[in-house]
Chain A
Amino acid sequence: MIDVKHLSKSFGDHLVLDHIDQHIFPGEKVVVIGPSGSGKSTFLRCLNLLETPTAGTITFDGVEITNPKSEIDKLRRQMGMVFQHFNLFPNMTIRQNITLAPVRTGLMDREEANQTAAALLKRVGLEEKADAYPAQLSGGQKQRIAIVRALAMQPKVMLFDEPTSALDPEMVGEVLDVMKELAQEGMTMVVVTHEMGFAREVGSRVLFMDGGKILEENTPAEFFSNPQHPRTQLFLSKVL
């Protein structure tokens, strides 16, 4: 579904991603873990071209998105993204946050978008917040809305960039529950996270990154019980 070849990214002289090759299959739940500064967020942000790769290609559904001539706006509509800091639009109500993109891109008319928003909000238990503004919500509620906002575009894949890292510990659960539900429905997901429990429970494959390279990848069961690379062993010994 997403094919990454020789992906490199540097900021000035600093090489953040070093020749990454990776393939993400439909229905997979790929969890990316690693120490901070390892390049995992940059890797994720390259997948929908929020960061422009320095070298290499990314192909999504047979279309090479790293080609400057590709219609990136159309491709991004099929890739939902959830950010660490939610990035809800504070000048709009929750309903407007959710319906803006589907209506503006012509995916739905206003009526249809409102119904979709209502249905999605009901699903995450926030239907009474439709007319509230983001400033009136808790962090966990904001992040659930952000997930819903991405889902309203009916994406084929969801990218999560440390979705629970900015939350109070109490609120992590409610966001992870929504993500687990999404995973059970068969959504293709790429998740950068520090939640090892989530990686173990939901992930179908774990990537461990450090120094801009994928040092190890395995199924969660194997990865956590039998890490191969010394750097992985050191990392897991510190976080588990």
Chain B
Amino acid sequence: MDLAHLYETLSAAGSLSGWQDFYVKFYRAWFLNDRWLQYFQGLGTTLQVTVMALALGVALGVLVAVVRTAHDQQRPGRKNLILGLVNLVCKVYVTIIRGTPMMVQLMIMGFVIFSNSRNATAVGALTLGINSGAYVAEIIRGGLMSLDPGQAEAGRSLGLNYLDTMRFIVVPQAFKSILPALGNEFIVLLKDTSLISVIAGKEILYFAKSIVTKTYEPMYPYIITALMYLIMVLIFSWFQGKLERRLRQSDRR
């Protein structure tokens, strides 16, 4: 007996047993009218927003972290005025983003600043990227500062300039130590994409909600949404673990 036929037979019947009830409701949440396609359409948007926001977040984060660290590590007596100004801008940025809720930021961006934009995906990616950048900046700054200062001193004492020392010595080591925190931030970002449904971004939760309004049955669409996020996070965690093991290569004795 095929699935659709079973569904029609059961939904026409009067009283249903436990598993029959489950089957009918799940069928409505997933198979009916090819609704599963909507979840995957939402998944596409989710991944798209995540990748764009990640790129923006990492770019902003690296920039802000480098400015903040470079400012704090200036040789005394050689304070750079422009660097001081840029550093101040970075500090304000981090303070505002960390001090306000993600959803409020989304609503301000979606309904105030870009109220005329109809591209919720782009606005969502922009907002999430700006938000993530502030956290990534602090993670990177923490990594750069936690490294033994002797490492940078050794690089500089060999005559390498500041940028080369950062690029070949400090950053590769800092990257290894911040990878767990960075992975965590990526997971948060991935899950925060579900918030863009409040500005009508068409990601997974948006479609789940619209299915709920049609079936009056919230349980299955939301659980399906949760499972889709969980599976994505599990896949990502697996890759992260692999990368961490590879970077630990130089620790072997």
Contact = CB atoms under 8 A, between A and B. Distances in A.
Interface of A: 48, 50, 52, 68, 73-74, 76-81, 83, 85, 87-92, 100-101, 104-105, 133, 135-136, 146, 149-150, 153
A215 to B, nearest CB: 28
A68 B176 CA distance: 34
Interface string B64-92: 00000000000111100000000000000
Contacts of B159: 73-74, 76-78, 101, 105, 153
B37 to A, nearest CB: 47
B158 interface: yes
A48 B159 CA distance: 10
Contacts of A92: 168, 250
B151 to A, nearest CB: 6
A105 B160 contact: yes
B21 interface: no
Interface of A: prevailing SS: loop
24 contacts: A50-B153, A50-B157, A68-B77, A76-B158, A76-B159, A78-B159, A79-B157, A80-B158, A81-B157, A83-B154, A87-B153, A88-B154, A89-B154, A89-B168, A89-B169, A90-B173, A91-B176, A91-B250, A100-B158, A100-B168, A105-B160, A133-B251, A146-B154, A153-B158
A137 to B, nearest CB: 9
With a 10 A CB-CB cut-off, give which of B77, B150, B155, B158 has the most chain A CB atoms: B158
A89 B164 CA distance: 13
With a 10 A CB-CB cut-off, give which of A73, A77, A146 has the most chain B CB atoms: A73
Contacts of B172: 91
Contact of B250 (A85, A133, A150): A133
Contact of B158 (A68, A77, A91, A135): A77
Given A78-B159, A89-B154, A133-B252, 15 more contacts: A50-B156, A52-B75, A68-B77, A74-B159, A85-B148, A85-B150, A87-B148, A89-B151, A91-B169, A92-B250, A100-B160, A100-B168, A104-B168, A135-B250, A135-B253
Contacts of B157: 48, 50, 76, 79-81, 150
B153 A135 contact: no
Interface of B: prevailing SS: helix
A46 B174 CA distance: 27
Contacts of B150: 83, 85, 87
10 A-B pairs with least C-beta separation:
A77-B159, A87-B154, A101-B158, A81-B157, A87-B150, A76-B159, A133-B250, A91-B172, A73-B161, A104-B164
Nearest to B152: A87
Interface in B2-32: none
B250 A83 contact: no
A88 B150 CA distance: 9
Nearest to A78: B159
B250 to A, nearest CB: 4
A104 B167 CA distance: 11
A144 B102 CA distance: 53
A101 B168 CA distance: 10
Nearest to B172: A91
Contacts of B164: 104
B116 to A, nearest CB: 49
Contacts of A68: 75, 77-78
Interface in B113-151: 148, 150-151
B123 to A, nearest CB: 40
Contacts of A77: 158-159
Contacts of B161: 73
